[in-house]
Structure formats: C-alpha cells, structure tokens
Chain A
Amino acid sequence: MATILVVGEQANGHLKKATLSALTAAQQVAQNTGGNIAGVVIGAGAGQAAQELAAYGIPVHVVEGAAFEHALAETHSAAATEVAKKAGADEVVIAATAYGKDIAPRIAAKLGAGLASDVLAIAGSNQFKRAMWAGNAIATVEVTTPVKVVTVRATEFAAPQKAQGKGSVTPAQVAAPQPKTKFVEFNEVKSARPELTEARVVVSGGRGTKGDFKPIEQLADVLNAAVGASRAVVDAGWQPNDLQVGQTGKVVAPQLYVAAGISGAIQHLAGMKGSKTIVAINKDAEAPIFQVADYGLVADLFKALPEMAEAVKKLQ
C-alpha cells in the first residue's frame, strides 16, 4: 500500500498551522491513491509538536537531537528523506512555507522525485494545480516520476478534523549529517497581533498611507487583525519586510481583507485575492483594487479608517 509522508513544521515544540493544511492535502492524495498517511516532525521540540500532529490519527516519526536543532535545509531534508525511504513513501507533502520551500527540493533531489511546488489543488493521482505568472494563469502539472514531492499553499487547504484515535509517536533513528551551513542567529519580528498568514482579518496599507500606519494599526487592533503592507511600503522601509502581502511576499486568505491606500498591482492581488471578503478604501476611484473588492469605498483612509474603527467598536 502506498504511503504518503507529511513533513511537519514546528517552532519551540508547537506545530505550525500550515502543517495541518499539508495533512488535508495528503488526505486528498490518499483518496485518489488509497494510501496511508504518516508524519515526521524534525528539530528541537519535535517530540512535543509530534503529539499535536498525532492527534489527527496518523503515526508520527520524531527526529530530535543536537544535529537537527536548527532548521537547516541540509540536515532536515536528509532526515525527512531517510524517514520517507524507511516508510516506503511514494509521496511527500509539505506546506509551502519558507521552511517547506527551503527543504522540499532537496528531498525531491535525494529521492529522484519530481516536485510540484506551491500547489493550490490536487487534480488527480499525479496531477496538481498551481499558479504561474503571478497568479495570472493556473497550470495543471503532471509529475512523471514514481515518487513525488508536493508543497502546498496552506491557505488553499482547510485544516482537517481531529481523529477519534490518536496516532503513535515514535523516535526515528537517522544518521546525523555534516552540514556545510551553520545557524548564527534569528532576529524575530515580535508582534502582539496574530500572524499574517493565520489571521482571520487582515488590514493592509499601501503607498496611500505615506508611511503613517497609525490608522491601519488602530483598525487592526479593534478587529484583532494582522497588519499587512504592499510592496511599495516595505521597499520604502516604512514597514518590516515580513508584512508584505503579494506574489513575492506572503499569500493570505483571511475571512476579511481590508486594503487601504493600496492601488492593487497584479503582484499584490496575487497575494490576497483568495480572501473571502475584500474591502478596498482608496481616494482614487479608478484604482484597480476596486475590481476585486466586494465592497469599495472611495475615501481618504486617514478619515475613513478611524471612523470605521469607531463604528466597529459600537458593534462589539
């Protein structure tokens, strides 16, 4: 029987939500191929995070130890590949996060597998849908190799239901590789707000803010939303890089996306047009963002956003 291996992602013992999207994708693959699903979680704290993944009823392998402490592509891809081989996996599924994008190709190369990247939908036993040209076209790709590696766009796959029974969690013995890379430091961007890719509501600002994000942040606070930004804003150094929403930044699909002072360049739209409801607030009635917005308001964001924050407060 075919085996599908989900490579989980964790930080400090907590499973990343994106891993559950990868599990959903693996379940869809299993429906096509009739395979079993197993998981692997690697790194410091993996044992704890593996328990979270096992709660979805799949057996989970754990790779821990000093050699795997940091998420280096060389060591983590080696561990995932060894587990995949021992499990006889013919498909490896990973969320297309920075971590997944870093390690998946190395796993594919080690397994001699074709890789379908940043997949939006499973289209058959060996076919997958993915965006190309900044989302201006959707391609169906066919992976021709017997073993396949797939990275999936987390926002396109809802998290699965927890299972009745818990899967087993077992340590996997894998050889410690000698990486040519070493971890130096991690400079975390700290925020009290929800993470951009996981938030239910996102309020984003563009060039129209002229660098003043106070109205964006005030509305975000009222809505318990994450703050996002257009590329112009981060290029100008007005906001940190990791807030950029777009094809080349973060791809988000919240319940509500508020775009304020954002004109709506193709590359920005590619990062947010999967949102359930889109609100555009812009002074320019001709801005392309209005073409994708469910609700458009032609207004100055410096007046409209504080007013909106007040109106939302009254509802709560």
Chain B
Amino acid sequence: MKILVTIKRVEDYESKIKVKPDNSWIVTDGVNYRANPFDEIAVEEALRLRDSNMPSEVVVVSVGPAAAAAEIRSGLAMGADRGILVKHDAFVDSDGVARVLKAVIDTEKPDLVLMGKQAVDVDDNVAGQLLAEYLGWGQATFASKKESLESPEEKAKKPGVQLTVDKKSAQVAREVDGGLEVLEVQLPAIVTVDLRLNVPRYASLPNIMKAKKKPIAEMTPQQLGVDVAPKVKVVKVEPPPQRTAGVKVPDVQTLVQKLHSEAKVI
C-alpha cells in the first residue's frame, strides 16, 4: 500500500515564543524549528503499517518554505521512502494547505493519508478534515489506541490503526470526549493522529546518512494549480494576558482559610 504522511515545519515548542513589537507575527530570529510533533507520530504509524504490510511505500509531504526540506529529511531519516516539498514562503492557511494536499493526492493516489491532528504553531486542527471533505473521503480524527504507551503492544511497535483482513478498510480508535470511539473507515481515507497513538522512533545515524540520498521532489502551489490566498488572515498577534504569581502560603490551614474567606471558592 501507499501511505502519504504530512510534515509541517514548526517552531520548536521548547523555544521561547515572543510576539513582534509591531504585532504582525512572532519573533522568528533565534527560534529553533522542527517537525510538528503530531506529524512525527503520523510518520511512526505509517512506518509500522508499511513494515507490517509489505510491499508498501511511505511518502512524506510538506507545504512550506525551502527550509522545510529539513523536516522532510527528518521523516526520511525515521524511515520514510521519499519526499515531496510544495514550496511557498508566505503564510498558507489550513484551507490552502488542504487544497494543495488534494492536488498532490490526486497525482499520488495513496491508499491512506496520515496527518497530525494539529500543527503546534497555529493550533488549528482543521486541515485533515478539510482535506477529507475536498477529496470526498472518510475520516477518522484523533487516532489513539486502547493500550497505553507503556503496553507490550506499544513496545512491540504494533500499529494502532488496524487494517481489515481485505485491506479495504481500517479500524481506528479515536480519542473523543468521554472515552474511545472505534470507527471503520473505507480506504482511501484520512486519519489524523493524537498524542497517544505511539511513541515515535529516533532516527539512527545510519538512517540519517541514508536519508540524504532519498529523493525529494519539489513543486509549487502554482504548478499544482492551487491559489493559496488565505480565506482566514492573521491580522494581529498579541502576547497572552499575563497571570501574575500570587502568594505563597506557609501551610495547608492558611491555604484552606484563604480559599474559603478570600477567594471564596470553597
């Protein structure tokens, strides 16, 4: 089977995020970039599915600046087979990304598309669902699994997304409010992944070396015939309201007394 995985280049969540003085965006100088952590989980899942369903191929796709080739390489170093970079320097909203991905998918014709449920920069959580609608495909968002990340199944690197015997559908456990819902979705389908689907592998040094030789095809939204003018524009970026540190209390009795008579919450 052919599995397509998306990877977005995002600010490292360990970096300090500061807003620009002119409120146009965040300060990007001195910020480290990396692959969106949810996308790494998607790559891991794709690799597990590939390795348990050979022959299969994993293609990683990114929409972003030329520098996003580094994040595609990180996916290739984890073990993906080849990459596609759709180059665009300016901000693309989630709708634009979904339409670019649709154009790529129309050519690539994968059996399954795995995506992070959201990118940790804009925190939108919509591109996968938009893409599913544009393709007319089924979707299973927030893929998780019944076993914990400490379970023997996870240690054995079993995929959480289960293909049916005829391989025409996949069963996906989804993390929803109040529990886990299991859906069966016909392939091809969009699956967006949540945090507890798997623990992504680290790239080994030999695989990092090998990844340098793997091909990355480059194209632009224009070549794909997609207008990426945003439907949703970011007009202002501000720092969040600061919460000021309150008081330290010496003991539990003082704490409970203050919660009762001062904050009046108990």
Nearest-Cβ distance from residue A288 to partner chain B, whole angstroms: 10
Cα distance, A296 to B245, chains bound together (Å): 9
| A117 cross-chain contacts in B, Cβ below 8 A | 94, 124-126
Using CB atoms, name the residue of chain A closest to B173. Answer: A187
With beta carbons under 8 angstroms apart, the residue of B125, B181, B231 that contacts A185 is B181
Q: CB distance A105 to B255 under 8 Å?
A: no
B133 touches A290 (CB 8 A): no
Binds B, one of A39-47, A156-164, A166-174, A297-305: A297-305
Chain B CB within 8 A of A176 CB? no
Q: Chain B: interface secondary structure?
A: mixed
Residue B248, interface by CB 8 Å: yes
Alpha-carbon gap, A116 to B140, bound state (A): 21
Looking at A30-38, A53-61, A127-135, the stretch in contact with chain B turns out to be: A127-135
**A74 is an interface residue with CB less than 8 A from chain B:** yes
Give the contacts of A187-203 with B (CB-CB under 8 A): 187-189, 195, 197, 201
Query: Residue A182 at the B interface, CB < 8 A?
Result: yes
Query: Which residues of the partner chain B approach A247 to less than 8 Å between Cβ atoms?
Result: 120, 123
Contact B232 A118 (CB under 8 A): no
What residues of B have a CB within 8 angstroms of the CB of A256 in the complex? Answer: 259, 263, 265-266
Nearest CB in chain B: distance from A273 CB, A: 6
Q: How far is the CB of A239 from chain B (nearest CB, A)?
A: 10
User: Which chain B residues border A74 with CB–CB below 8 Å?
Assistant: 138-139
How far, in angstroms, from A266 to B138 measured CA to CA in the complex? 34
Complex CA gap A115/B252 in Å reads 47
Assembly CA distance A249 to B125 (angstroms): 13
Tell me the nearest residue of chain A to B180, going by C-beta.
A187
What are the residues of chain A within 8 A of B251 when measuring CB–CB?
297, 299
Of A109, A142, A182, the residue contacting B232 (CB under 8 A) is A142
| Chain A residue nearest to B124 in the complex (CB) | A117
**Could you say which interface size class chain B belongs to?**
35 or more
Interface size on A (CB < 8 Å)?
A: 91
A307→B252 CA distance, assembly (Å): 7
Interchain CB contact under 8 A, A115 and B232: yes
How many angstroms between the C-alpha atoms of A162 and B33 in the bound complex? 48
Interface of A is mostly: mixed
Question: Chain B 97-137 against A: per-residue CB contact (8 Å), 1 yes, 0 no?
Answer: 01000000000000000000000111111111110111001
Within 8 A of A (CB), among B72-101: 93-95, 98
Q: Pick from A106, A292, A297, A315: contact of B266, CB below 8 A.
A: A315
With A105-B130, A114-B95, A231-B195 already in contact, the answer to whether A132 and B235 are too (CB < 8 A) is: no
Minimum CB–CB distance from A261 to chain B (whole Å) comes to 15
Residue-by-residue, is B1-20 near A (CB-CB < 8 Å gives 1, otherwise 0)? 00000000001010001010
Q: Does B47 contact A (CB under 8 A)?
A: no
Q: Which residues of A contact B124 (CB under 8 A)?
A: 117-118
Q: Give the residues in chain A near B233, CB-CB below 8 Å.
A: 141-142, 144
The answer to whether A104 touches B126, judged by C-beta atoms less than 8 angstroms apart, is: yes
A97 contact set on B, CB distance < 8 A: 177
Q: A101 contacts which chain B residues (CB < 8 A)?
A: 125-126, 129, 141
Taken together as a complex, chains A and B put the C-alpha atoms of A297 and B248 apart, in Å, by: 6
- Please state if A144 and B231 are interface contacts (CB–CB under 8 Å): yes
Could you tell me if A234 and B26 are in contact, using CB atoms closer than 8 angstroms? no
Give chain A interface residues in 134-151, CB to chain B under 8 Å: 134-145
- How far apart sit A256 and B256, CA to CA, in the bound complex (Å)? 12
Q: Of B123, B132, B146, B151, which is within 8 A of A134 by CB?
A: B123
A137 touches B246 (CB 8 A): no
Instruction: Name which of B51-59, B183-191, B209-217 contacts chain A.
Output: B183-191
A91 CB, nearest partner CB in chain B, Å = 14
Interface stretch of the complex, out of B63-71, B200-208, B220-228, B236-244: B236-244
Asked if A267 and B13 sit within 8 Å, CB to CB, the answer is yes
Judge whether A293 is part of the interface by a CB distance below 8 angstroms: yes
Q: Which of B127, B195, B232, B246 contacts A293 (CB 8 A)?
A: B246
The answer to whether B252 touches A297, judged by C-beta atoms less than 8 angstroms apart, is yes
Complex contacts, A231 vs chain B, CB 8 Å: 195
- Interface residue? A65 (CB, 8 A): no
Does A276 touch B at the CB level, under 8 Å? yes
Say whether B179 faces chain A, with CB atoms less than 8 Å apart. Answer: yes
B245 touches A114 (CB 8 A): no
Q: Are A242 and B178 in contact (CB under 8 A)?
A: yes
Which of B126, B176, B184 lies at the interface centre, i.e. has the most chain A CB atoms within 10 A of its CB? B126
26 sampled A-B residue pairs with Cβ under 8 A: A73-B141, A101-B125, A101-B126, A105-B94, A105-B133, A109-B129, A115-B94, A115-B130, A132-B121, A133-B26, A133-B120, A134-B123, A135-B240, A139-B122, A139-B236, A140-B238, A142-B235, A181-B183, A181-B185, A231-B195, A247-B120, A255-B265, A295-B246, A295-B263, A296-B245, A296-B247
Which 8 A-B pairs rank lowest in CB-CB distance, beginning with the nearest?
A237-B148, A114-B231, A180-B138, A105-B129, A294-B246, A109-B133, A136-B17, A181-B138
Chain B contact residues, CB within 8 Å of chain A: 11, 13, 17, 19, 26, 93-95, 98, 120-130, 132-134, 137-142, 144, 146, 148-151, 171, 174-186, 189, 194-196, 230-240, 243, 245-249, 251-253, 255-256, 258-260, 263, 265-266
